[in-house]
């Protein structure tokens, strides 16, 4: 079965320093091994793809990427450099790699222009955004140009986790909860709900947001979101669609990245349907061997497996 993996990370020697704060969250030998793989495209990555039957990886700059840059002018330059670098990798291996653009959201108008350049001139397939940008989230009105451009181009925005803007009070003293084991998923799910309740999909109904890690837990919460939305004070928010879940089902797609467990996969299928789920491994921060074994042994129909493994990504990204 063909496989397209769409949350697969890389970095460059010039950009690797942005990820250094995240290194403290990982076991040092694990992080060192991951960093070597983030910098590699052909020595380890391609042979493993061949061995495991992964036909294509959709590459994206690893978190926190450009959004960690505090100087806006530098961020704009680094985003263009990262996208040019990625485009060269794609040019050398057009059948094995595709990619998402890095954007300097510090300058939303410039980010929209860079998204258009990346898609129309470099052949990238959308953008991946690593969480907040210095405490600002994608429901803010200043990011309207980015949503507008993504919708016009017909490309998705992949919302990937990054460390929170500040440390939540209830994890202080339990720093093991900070990062990919817990806080990143909660943070990213909350960010996605800000986008829903901020009316972004009412303003841009053709926009598509992609969430990794089996939807950051949101598929399992749709019933309660709908129930409590009608029960609680809605704070003057008026949405065009009757239920929050309508936006999740219509405007959000999810990937299997970093969740190699059949139970949440089956839950996602029940909540969203097979047309809204895509295969991913989260390489190199997760095992692509385990991810392939997981999807190949999932107790689902071959029709659904084909959609998840490659057909949905091919459709969404025009591959």
Cα dihedral angle (306, 312, 313, 318), rounded to 10 degrees? 120
- Catalytic residue from among 226, 246, 282, 304: 282
Q: Identify whether the C-beta of residue 257 lies closer than 8 Å to the C-beta of residue 57.
A: no
Whole-angstrom CA distances from 7 to 62, 104, 241 are 10, 19, 30
* Closest C-alpha among 56, 59, 79 to residue 68: 79
Residue 98 forms beta bridges with which residues?
Answer: 58
Structure-token pair, residue 244: 């929050």
Structure-token pair, residue 159: 């919302």
- C-alpha 211/C-alpha 278 separation (Å) is 10
Q: Is 282 one of the annotated active-site residues of the chain?
A: yes
Residue 128 forms beta bridges with which residues?
Answer: 158
Parallel/antiparallel/unpaired status of strands 252-255 and 56-61: unpaired
- C-alpha 169/C-alpha 39 separation (Å) is 35
29 CB neighbour count, 10 Å cutoff: 8
State whether the Cα torsion 127-131-134-139 is positive or negative.
positive
Residue 101 forms beta bridges with which residues?
Answer: 127
Q: What order of strands is seen across the sheet that includes strand 4-10?
A: 4-10, 56-61, 97-99
Which residues have a Cβ under 8 Å from the Cβ of 300 and sit 6 or more positions away?
265, 266, 269, 274, 308
- C-alpha 175/C-alpha 133 separation (Å) is 22
Structure-token pair, residue 32: 């060192």
Active site residues per annotation? 282
């Amino acid at each position: 079965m063909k496989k397209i993996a769409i949350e697969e990370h890389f970095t460059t020697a010039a950009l690797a320093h942005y990820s250094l704060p995240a290194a403290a969250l990982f076991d040092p030998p694990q992080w060192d091994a991951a960093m070597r793989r983030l910098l590699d495209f052909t020595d380890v990555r391609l042979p493993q793809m061949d061995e495991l039957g992964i036909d294509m990886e959709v590459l994206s700059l690893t978190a926190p990427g450009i959004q960690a840059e505090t100087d806006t002018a530098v961020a704009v330059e680094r985003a263009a450099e990262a996208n040019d670098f990625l485009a060269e990798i794609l040019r050398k291996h057009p059948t094995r790699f595709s990619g998402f653009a890095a954007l300097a959201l510090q300058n939303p108008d410039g980010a929209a222009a860079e998204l258009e350049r990346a898609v129309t001139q470099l052949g990238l397939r959308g953008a991946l955004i690593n969480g907040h940008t210095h405490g600002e989230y994608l429901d803010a009105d200043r990011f309207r140009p980015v949503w507008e451009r993504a919708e016009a181009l017909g490309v998705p925005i992949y919302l990937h986790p990054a460390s929170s803007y500040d440390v939540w009070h209830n994890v202080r003293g339990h720093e093991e909860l900070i990062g990919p084991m817990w806080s990143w998923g909660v943070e990213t799910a909350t960010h996605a709900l800000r986008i829903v309740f901020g009316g972004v999909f009412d303003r841009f109904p053709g926009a598509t947001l992609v969430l990794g890690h089996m939807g950051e837990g949101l598929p399992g919460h749709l019933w309660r979101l709908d129930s409590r939305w009608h029960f609680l004070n809605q704070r003057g928010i008026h949405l065009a669609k009757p239920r929050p879940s309508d936006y999740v089902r219509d405007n959000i797609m999810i990937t299997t990245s970093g969740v190699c467990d059949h139970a949440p996969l089956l839950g996602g299928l029940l909540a969203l349907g097979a047309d809204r789920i895509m295969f991913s491994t989260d390489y190199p921060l997760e095992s692509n061997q385990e991810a392939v074994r997981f999807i190949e042994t999932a107790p689902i129909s071959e029709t659904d497996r084909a959609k998840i493994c490659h057909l949905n990504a091919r459709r969404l990204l025009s591959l």
